Chains A and B, each alone.
Chain A
């Protein structure tokens, strides 16, 4: 059974979003996504300061099988990319919702209306699998 933590929000393209105390959000790819990709060998995270539009391709996760884009779940400015991933891409396989985070973003405006709840995301994954 895949993990879908209850305290996060999700996207149809398999990103997760965590609201942080300082008003920024942390973003990564879900456990389901890392499972589908297989062993990750390279991760490209966005530079600090980059302004992203919602839905913009902003990171690349490359496994032995495929290189996939990661899309910004909401618009905002990148406040950090996870520096650990440059040498340890496997953190995403090991801990997708924790040390495998990709970037932090300061959201531009309220936004975030289109994000999925844990229950909705779980339903999406189940529908994809059937």
Chain B
């Protein structure tokens, strides 16, 4: 369907109908003292040609660096068909369609997306997406507080090796709702959460446990043991997962025998290109038993009056447009276009394609770590199994080394010093299927030169 804004004639007709002289008059109730009359500091508008030139000049400043940074957003090959189809006029909107009679194609696409995400995570039901992985975790914590009615404490255990941005967003978004986060330490030698860290909560009222797999260090957690510990105590388990990794790893729906309660994650690896700050999208899946506490839009399949299959938004009664302030959340899916791309990506890759991407990423990261740790002054930090990211440690501060490599067009990894000073000079590196042996060799040679020069200096 077409998304055409109102014409001047439409606006005039609507104003005449309600008996208001101008749009400006609709804002009369805002006191004059609260209104900003001028937008000082905002430059004049540019036309399309001018803005095109400006943006292209700015884009060139980024250059075309060789990127080994993961840390939550991953460079994967995106088949050309994905965005060629996603940008067709029929799909080209960010919004979830309310009007079922005019939006069957988009609704069916979201239904297929939900089916794929539920299948990938091993859960029963998915929503139509959230803003990003971090806000999806915040929503999952609020959902766990609503759904775990046996627990009164609103305390959520969050390991320190969960993505630092996710922890910050979850804590900011829930802080006015009396959710309390308890940080779990990780094993200094292993990089993962150890059973001993849980022991002190054995007999306490805990609402939910968050488990990130792989964790922020790329390390694989013992998800079965952690899930079993929580389930035995009536604690909800919230899994934060990388969708690509699920082509190889056990889905959260099967962790610890019974599986987890809520799965969330960042959908960007599924067909969304890297961009500074997004837009990306978050995903969320759960069990049917919790579906009424799940935030966001859900598309369902049904039959119309003539018995034909059709698609429509469902379980709307608890959402903001009906329940106002008491809605389960204020989330809507304005990430519809990214979900379209993700659905196309998953359709084109298929389970085997996604498994090949995951296996190649794992193998390339192994190759990268081996190449880097052959350099004097570089060692691998945790011996634990990993997926497609790993932590290496330098014998000197990371930032100056990264700067010298950036000067050579290499983004060498994510500096962990700010968020994890206890790890020393630590760097998180990632190599997806996009990194060839030649790329890895180029990085290792450059790092070797930089380290040698630094030692000589």
> Which residues from chain B contact A66 at a C-beta distance below 8 Å?
317, 322-323
Beta-carbon contact of B326 and A69 below 8 Å: yes
Beta-carbon contact of A67 and B149 below 8 Å: no
From residue 324 to 351 of chain B, which have CB atoms closer than 8 A to chain A?
326
Size of B's binding interface in residues, CB under 8 A: 8
Q: A57-B326, A62-B292 are in contact. List 13 more A-B contacts (CB 8 A).
A: A44-B292, A47-B149, A47-B150, A62-B318, A63-B317, A64-B317, A65-B317, A66-B317, A66-B322, A67-B318, A67-B322, A67-B323, A69-B326
Per-position binary interface string of chain A over residues 49-66, scored 1 when its CB falls under 8 Å from any chain B CB and 0 otherwise: 000000001000011111
Q: How far is the CB of A101 from chain B (nearest CB, A)?
A: 19
Q: How far is the CB of B298 from chain A (nearest CB, A)?
A: 14
Size of A's binding interface in residues, CB under 8 A: 11
> Which residues from chain A contact B150 at a C-beta distance below 8 Å?
47
User: Which B positions have Cβ atoms within 8 angstroms of A?
Assistant: 149-150, 292, 317-318, 322-323, 326
Q: How far is the CB of A76 from chain B (nearest CB, A)?
A: 18
User: Which A positions have Cβ atoms within 8 angstroms of B?
Assistant: 42, 44, 47, 57, 62-67, 69
Task: Please report the C-alpha to C-alpha distance between residue A42 and residue B291 in the assembled complex, in whole angstroms.
Answer: 11
Q: How far is the CB of B303 from chain A (nearest CB, A)?
A: 16
Q: How far is the CB of B174 from chain A (nearest CB, A)?
A: 20
Q: How far is the CB of B129 from chain A (nearest CB, A)?
A: 22
Closest 7 CB pairs of A and B: A67-B317, A67-B318, A62-B317, A66-B317, A47-B149, A67-B323, A42-B292
Task: Please report the C-alpha to C-alpha distance between residue A42 and residue B317 in the assembled complex, in whole angstroms.
Answer: 10
Task: Please report the C-alpha to C-alpha distance between residue A48 and residue B292 in the assembled complex, in whole angstroms.
Answer: 21
Task: Please report the C-alpha to C-alpha distance between residue A73 and residue B449 in the assembled complex, in whole angstroms.
Answer: 77
Query: Can you show 19 pairs from A to B with CB atoms below 8 A apart?
Result: A42-B292, A44-B292, A47-B149, A47-B150, A57-B326, A62-B292, A62-B317, A62-B318, A63-B317, A64-B317, A65-B317, A66-B317, A66-B322, A66-B323, A67-B317, A67-B318, A67-B322, A67-B323, A69-B326
Task: Please report the C-alpha to C-alpha distance between residue A86 and residue B323 in the assembled complex, in whole angstroms.
Answer: 21
| Residue in A closest to B150 when the chains form the complex, CB atoms | A47
Task: Please report the C-alpha to C-alpha distance between residue A64 and residue B317 in the assembled complex, in whole angstroms.
Answer: 7
Q: How far is the CB of A29 from chain B (nearest CB, A)?
A: 16
Q: How far is the CB of A123 from chain B (nearest CB, A)?
A: 28
Task: Please report the C-alpha to C-alpha distance between residue A94 and residue B149 in the assembled complex, in whole angstroms.
Answer: 27
> Which residues from chain B contact A44 at a C-beta distance below 8 Å?
292
> Which residues from chain B contact A64 at a C-beta distance below 8 Å?
317
> Which residues from chain B contact A62 at a C-beta distance below 8 Å?
292, 317-318
Task: Please report the C-alpha to C-alpha distance between residue A31 and residue B323 in the assembled complex, in whole angstroms.
Answer: 22
Q: How far is the CB of B325 from chain A (nearest CB, A)?
A: 11
> Which residues from chain A contact B317 at a C-beta distance below 8 Å?
62-67
